[in-house]
Structure 1
Amino acid sequence: MESFFSLKGKVIIITGATGLLGSQHAEVIAEAGGNPVLLDLDQKKCDDLALNLRSKYQVDSVGYKVDITNEDAIVETLKVIKTRFNSIYALINNAANNPKVEDSSEKAFSRLENFPLSVWNADLAVGLTGSYLCAKHFGNLISQNENGGTILNISSDLGIIAPDQRLYRKKGLPEELQPVKPVTYSVVKAGLIGLTRYLATYWADKNVRCNAICPGGVENNQNEEFLNEVRSRIPLGRMAKKDEYKGLVLFLLSESASYINGSIISADGGRSVW
């Protein structure tokens, strides 16, 4: 069974690798013997995480500062990675902006009526354009492997259900100032599902699988009132712990999922079935 879930020696690229979930993806890859290649905007954070993974798991982890909205930067990074490792087994499209619900504002920027075009463009550039560009270049290299490989897109439960805006309401504010979950998050995460289905058929003849997971929210020091509201909407009665997606990520990357392709897998405590 250990070999069934092994990633020993496999080179796996993770975008947004130093974030809350990205670092968990990187760790489970290292735990399974894989070589996590960390892409993010902060070189020091990449270096620190890679050093920790090398020391803890004796794998060849390395990090690169790269803006995934810049195609030239991706192409140059690909050259560096190919020189170092020769091939890539998998890509995890994890990077995304997470537009916040503001605490207070004279003009509620998060509301659709006020949402800035500049923020829309920036969020789509990272979450969708960046994923497309990484699939275009890293996916192409994966398709050249004799035995193929895999692409995993990190969507969200909000890619398949609408945000419940009641979670963000503030007592005493008029409707036009009520904060909401911004539109871009849902659009990006739904778009990744479409990208997943496209990629699942594109290199299938070369044994490149593509799947998406739709995680629910993770407990991360939110206020208790908000947590209680969210919990009441989840059949399991709680949000996820940050390490609870590691098993699913490992499964989908490994050979144990060799016949799973084009799947959109919810991992949200049952929230999306209510």
Structure 2
Amino acid sequence: MQDSLFSVKDKIIIVTGGFGQLGAQYVRELHSRGALVAVLGSTCGEDKINKVFNDIRDSKNVRFYGVNITKVDEITNALDDIENVWGTPDGLINNAGIDTQPSAPPEVSGPFENFPEEVFREVVEVNLVGTFLMTQQVGARMKQAGKSGSIVNIGSIYGVVSPVQDIYSYKKEDTGVPFIKPVAYSAAKSGVYNFTRYCATYWGRDNIRVNTLTLSGVQRADQDPRFQKNYTARIPIGRMAQANEFNGAIVFLMSDASIYMTGANVVMDGGWTAW
């Protein structure tokens, strides 16, 4: 029997980036607890739905939307459908984002002095502007309906502290060109924190809570073992996160268990930022 304090049953919750490694975890956890979950992804074809959510795709408690979160008209079209079917959302998880991976070519992962303007703009557009637009549109509907709600912006340790460039040094052995963790992701994610605080204070009297959840790296099968070794050496807990280990925080932030929390930064990083 689930504790009612942490209940998300019948809550209408939107998850952006819902087909990704972490987004899919949030969707499944919330769905398993009886929430009505709207899954937003940049692409949303039948093949993707079947691949990621084949077991729950026919559930009446989950809906899928292809949405570019940098386009207001696409956001509003999805929100209109969600409201027509279920009602005004109770929660929003701004999970969608893009980053430059170690596998990226040198022209987008080289020295800061040469980092392409167009890549910087693209990363900021998705990670920060997209978060702004989703929050603006969903929060406005919550307020208009007089409905309390919870908005969670997914942050990163690289929005709190600067990347440790040494953990990527192994790349130079392969290409002769050092991989430099680019500036764009850090700049965009750092903007999320004050954006969260702004929205929290702006909507505080409207009972719309806005918080940040800061995460560190998640282990994946396709990661270079040298990267994993370097990364885990920096984590006090001694390992990278598993994809499902942030689900508890998501349930907490979406439920009444966090009813008096707003403008906060919940850090789940294995101790990375404690050094």
- What TM-score, normalized by structure 1, do the two folds share? 0.92
CA drift at 1:140: 0.9
- Structure 2 CA distance for partners of 1:172 and 1:12, relative to 1, 3 Å: closer
**Deviations 1:95-153, CA, capped at 9 Å, x for gaps:** 11111234664x56442112111111111111111110111111111223444111000
Letter in 1 for 2:250: V
The 10-residue stretch of structure 1 (239-248 or 221-230) with the greater mean CA deviation from structure 2: 221-230
* Runs of 4+ more than 6 Å apart: none
Residue 55 of structure 2: which of 46, 52, 55 is its match?
A: 52
Q: Is the 8 A contact 1:91 1:151 kept in 2?
A: yes
Q: Distance in 1 between matches of 2:172 and 2:74?
A: 47
The 10-residue stretch of structure 1 (216-225 or 10-19) with the greater mean CA deviation from structure 2: 216-225
- 1:76-155 alignment runs, 5 A limit: 76-102=77-103, 105=106, 107=107, 109-155=109-155
Percentage of identical aligned residues = 33
The 10-residue stretch of structure 1 (164-173 or 23-32) with the greater mean CA deviation from structure 2: 164-173
Letter in 2 for 1:116: P
Q: Is the 8 A contact 1:108 1:179 kept in 2?
A: no
Q: Please give the secondary structure, in 2, of the residue aligned with 1:39.
A: strand
- Structure 2 CA distance for partners of 1:8 and 1:223, relative to 1, 3 Å: same
- Structure 2 CA distance for partners of 1:26 and 1:273, relative to 1, 3 Å: same
Aligned partner of 2:16 in structure 1 is 15
CA drift at 1:31: 1.8
Q: Across the two proteins, how many residue pairs are aligned to each other? A: 271
Q: Distance in 2 between matches of 1:253 and 1:104?
A: 38
State yes or no: 1:228 paired with 2:229: yes
Aligned partner of 2:178 in structure 1 is 178
RMSD: 2.2
Q: Distance in 2 between matches of 1:150 and 1:259?
A: 11
Q: Distance in 1 between matches of 2:104 and 2:90?
A: 42
Q: Is the 8 A contact 1:25 1:246 kept in 2?
A: yes
Q: Please give the secondary structure, in 1, of the residue aligned with 2:114.
A: coil
Q: Distance in 2 between matches of 1:102 and 1:29?
A: 32
The 10-residue stretch of structure 1 (79-88 or 95-104) with the greater mean CA deviation from structure 2: 95-104
Aligned partner of 2:167 in structure 1 is 167
CA drift at 1:12: 0.5
- Structure 2 CA distance for partners of 1:51 and 1:206, relative to 1, 3 Å: farther
Aligned partner of 1:238 in structure 2 is 239
The 10-residue stretch of structure 1 (42-51 or 159-168) with the greater mean CA deviation from structure 2: 42-51
CA drift at 1:50: 5.5
Aligned partner of 1:40 in structure 2 is 41
CA drift at 1:79: 1.4
Gap runs ≥5 in structure 2: none
Letter in 2 for 1:189: K
- Structure 2 CA distance for partners of 1:103 and 1:149, relative to 1, 3 Å: closer
Q: Distance in 2 between matches of 1:114 and 1:28?
A: 42
Aligned partner of 1:198 in structure 2 is 198
Letter in 1 for 2:212: A
Gap runs ≥5 in structure 1: none
- Structure 2 CA distance for partners of 1:104 and 1:261, relative to 1, 3 Å: closer
**Deviations 1:77-107, CA, capped at 9 Å, x for gaps:** 22111111121101111111111234664x5
Letter in 1 for 2:183: V
CA drift at 1:27: 1.2
Q: Distance in 2 between matches of 1:124 and 1:8?
A: 34
**Deviations 1:47-100, CA, capped at 9 Å, x for gaps:** 435553356xx5510010011111121122221111111211011111111112
Q: Distance in 2 between matches of 1:72 and 1:59?
A: 25
Q: Distance in 1 between matches of 2:242 and 2:147?
A: 34
**Deviations 1:188-245, CA, capped at 9 Å, x for gaps:** 1111111111111111111000111111100002122211111111110111000000
